[in-house]
Amino acid sequence: MGSAARVPTAHPTGTAPPVRGAVAGLDDRLVLDPARPLYVCHVRGPLTLAVVSIARLRTLDERARTALESRHLGPAEAARLRQLSLPKRRLEWLAGRLALKHGVCAYRGRHFGERTGTRDVRIGAVADGLRAGRPRVALPVERGSPVEVGLSHSVDFAVAVCGPRAVGIDVEHTRRMPPLLSELLAPSSGAARDAESAGLRAMPPALRWTCKEAVLKHFGFGLRVDPREVELTDWRADGRFSWRAGPGLVRHLSREDGTDGAHGTGRTDGTCFDSWAREVDGYSVALVWR
């Protein structure tokens, strides 16, 4: 699979990547094109995003798909893929693994000058607890500094994001929201609706949902925590959005999450996080990182 981004050597192996690096913004770089098998871009954060087209994977015959799997998956991953009985689930899982692996390789190439093979990038997950299923990256111990990842699938795409600290991403095909979700997204009262900023009132319902889910995925909780515990407070013209954590979310947070809100001393209004959301090529996309 080809990449749209070059991976230059930027920093010696083992040095820390720049904090909030001044690279191209998300509005300028993120593309969702089903005709492109793989698209990789580096954006402010410093983050690397990798987009794999599930639509293109669907067009591959069995021989081509097997060759792709052999090139990028390790034995345990190939065995896991074979255990998935539903074709749709197999394609999503494969696309997600490819997005994560290519994203990690590109991120470490850009910020550490490393050439990492996709088969050397092993993807695990938190085994249990409220954060069960949160993806984790395992690299050979000599590779040094870790990389944090997030992943989302929707219809024709799997999108992975990689960075030096926790990241959350949600991607949803833009559609009319079901009544139940619309109710979850609505302000709790008329007064709350009247108090919304002009930017937030302009935010489409599907994009509101992706923002809430990206926040929860950033912490590894996903929908185990009620999305109503994430209160959106503004959406700016440059795509940045702001939010506030409700008490049901705050009680699960710790210093490792960038806040000590669980103990009543940290900021839980989202101001210590970067948050961005846009409609991109027919999809609602939201990212949260710090």
Residue 206: per-residue pLDDT = 92
Tokens of 66: 């097997």
pLDDT in tens, the chain (290 residues): 644 433 333 344 444 443 333 335 788 899 999 999 999 999 987 999 999 999 999 999 999 999 999 999 999 999 999 999 999 999 999 999 999 999 999 999 999 998 889 999 999 999 999 999 999 998 765 566 789 999 999 999 999 999 999 999 999 998 877 777 777 676 655 555 667 889 998 999 899 999 999 999 999 999 999 999 999 999 999 999 999 999 999 999 987 787 655 444 445 666 789 999 999 999 999 999 98
The number of C-alpha atoms within 13 Å of 219 and in the hemisphere containing its C-beta is 29
pLDDT digits (tens, 9 = 90+) for 197-250: 899 989 998 999 999 999 999 999 999 999 999 999 999 999 999 999 999 999
Are 159 and 152 a contacting pair, CB within 8 Å? yes
Residue 44: per-residue pLDDT = 84
Q: How many residues does the structure list for the chain?
A: 290
Structural domains present in the chain: 26-164 (3.90.470.20), 172-289 (no CATH)
R_g of the chain, CA atoms, integer Å:
19
Q: Following DSSP, what letter does each residue of 114-181 receive, concatenated? A: ----GGG-EEEE--SSTTTT-EEEE--GGG-S--EEEEEEETTEEEEEEESS-EEEEEEE--PPPHHH
Residue 22: per-residue pLDDT = 34
38: closest CA among 139, 158, 203? 158
Residue 7: per-residue pLDDT = 33
CA distances to 160, 204, 230 from 222, rounded to whole Å, are 16, 21, 12
How far is C-alpha 108 from the chain's CA centre? 17
Identify the three-state secondary structure at position 51: strand
Residue 290: per-residue pLDDT = 86
